[in-house]
Copies of this chain bind each other. A is one copy, B any other.
Amino acid sequence: MTRETITHRDGHVYEFGPQMDPVYEAADGESLTVETVDSLNGEIQADDDLLDAIPEEVNAATGPIAVAGASPGDVLAVEIEDVRVAEDRGRVLTAPGFGLLQDDPEIDHPATRITEVESGGAAGGDAADSGAETIDFEGIDVPIEPVIGTIGVATGGETVSTLTPDDHGGNLDTTDVTDGTTVYFPVFQEGAMLALGDAKAAMADGEMCGTGAEIAVAVDATLSVIEDPAVSPDRPLLDTDDAVKTVASAETMEEAVELANGDMLDLLAHDHGFSRTDAYLFSSLVGGLEVSQVVDPQVTARNAVPSEYLSLPF
Interchain CB contact under 8 A, A288 and B289: no
Interchain CB contact under 8 A, A254 and B257: no
Type the 1/0 row for A5-16, where 1 means its CB is closer than 8 Å to any CB of B: 000000000000
In the complex, residue of chain B having the shortest beta-carbon distance to the beta carbon of A274? B138
Contacts A111-B277, A140-B272; A308 near B125 (Cβ below 8 A): yes
Contacts A106-B276, A291-B291, A308-B125; A142 near B286 (Cβ below 8 A): yes
User: Which residues of A (83-107) have their CB < 8 Å from a CB of B?
Assistant: 92-94, 99-101, 104, 106-107
In the complex, residue of chain B having the shortest beta-carbon distance to the beta carbon of A273? B138
Contact of A282 among B94, B137, B287 (CB under 8 A): B137
The verdict on A181 contacting chain B, using a C-beta distance below 8 Å, is: no
Interchain CB contact under 8 A, A281 and B137: yes
Interchain CB contact under 8 A, B113 and A278: yes
The verdict on A261 contacting chain B, using a C-beta distance below 8 Å, is: yes
Interchain CB contact under 8 A, A291 and B290: yes
The verdict on A210 contacting chain B, using a C-beta distance below 8 Å, is: yes
CA distance A91 to B185 in the complex (A): 36
Type the 1/0 row for A111-150, where 1 means its CB is closer than 8 Å to any CB of B: 1010100000000011000000001011010100000000
Contact of A278 among B138, B203, B284 (CB under 8 A): B138
CA distance A286 to B294 in the complex (A): 15
The verdict on A186 contacting chain B, using a C-beta distance below 8 Å, is: no
Interchain CB contact under 8 A, B204 and A285: yes
Interchain CB contact under 8 A, B289 and A104: no
User: Which residues of A (57-105) have their CB < 8 Å from a CB of B?
Assistant: 92-94, 99-101, 104
Interchain CB contact under 8 A, A204 and B288: yes
Number of interface residues of A (CB under 8 A): 66
CA distance A309 to B254 in the complex (A): 30
Interchain CB contact under 8 A, A284 and B140: no
The verdict on A191 contacting chain B, using a C-beta distance below 8 Å, is: no
Interchain CB contact under 8 A, A142 and B107: no
The verdict on A234 contacting chain B, using a C-beta distance below 8 Å, is: no
CA distance A142 to B272 in the complex (A): 15
> A residues bordering B, Cβ < 8 Å?
92-94, 99-101, 104, 106-108, 111, 113, 115, 125-126, 135, 137-138, 140, 142, 175, 202-213, 252-254, 257-258, 261-262, 265, 272, 274-278, 280-291, 294, 299, 301, 303, 306, 308-309
